[in-house]
Amino acid sequence: MDEKKLLEEAILGREQAYTPYSKFKVGAAILLKNGAYIRGCNVENVSYGLCNCAERTALFKMISEGYKKEDVLAMAVVADTTLPCSPCGACRQVMAELLDKKTPILLGNMAREYKMTTVEELLPYSFEEIENAD
């Protein structure tokens, strides 16, 4: 897997960010086993609670295009941060459901610094089942 190419795809995703309120642009990219990339960006709203993170944009695009966790090789997130950008808690929970626990996740910044982690490292002991619900 070409980590630098994955990071550049996330940076391209970031270019589309719609951030009139925070001005904080985030990009994401998912590399599929078929070689295709699915990009994402954050999309904000004047009703702030409706803002959607770049990671979830990319993951929801992946599902809506008919792909599943088995089709994914890796994912990246990037922002103009000092340290490589780290996903919020909501995105970690969505990653835990829509990606395999072992999926490599690249956390990057605009200086092209990055760190590799996994879904499982980002959200250990994740909530997964509601089997015993009444």
Q: Active-site residue numbers?
A: 55
Interface with ligand THU includes 10 (CB under 6 A)?
Answer: no
Q: Which residue, 42, 31, 106, is CA-closest to 69?
A: 31
Tokens of 45: 């709203």
Q: Please, is 50 exposed, middle or buried when counting C-beta atoms within 10 Å of its C-beta (0-12, 13-18, 19+)?
A: exposed
Q: Does 8 bind ligand THU (CB under 6 A)?
A: no
Interaction of residue 15 with ligand THU, rule CB under 6 A: no
Residue of 2, 4, 15, 22 that binds ligand THU (CB under 6 A): 22
34/108 with CB nearer ligand THU: 108
Chain positions 84 to 113 lying near ligand THU, rule: CB under 6 A, are 87-88, 91
CA 115 distance to own-chain centroid:
14
Cβ nearer to ligand THU, comparing 8 with 44: 44
Query: For residues 40-59, which are near ligand THU according to CB under 6 A?
Result: 42, 44, 51, 53-55
- If 0-12 CB within 10 Å is exposed, 13-18 middle and 19+ buried, where does residue 88 land? middle
Task: Please give the distance of CA 71 from its chain centroid, rounded to a whole number.
Answer: 15
Binding site for ligand THU (CB under 6 A): 19, 22, 24, 26, 42, 44, 51, 53-55, 87-88, 91
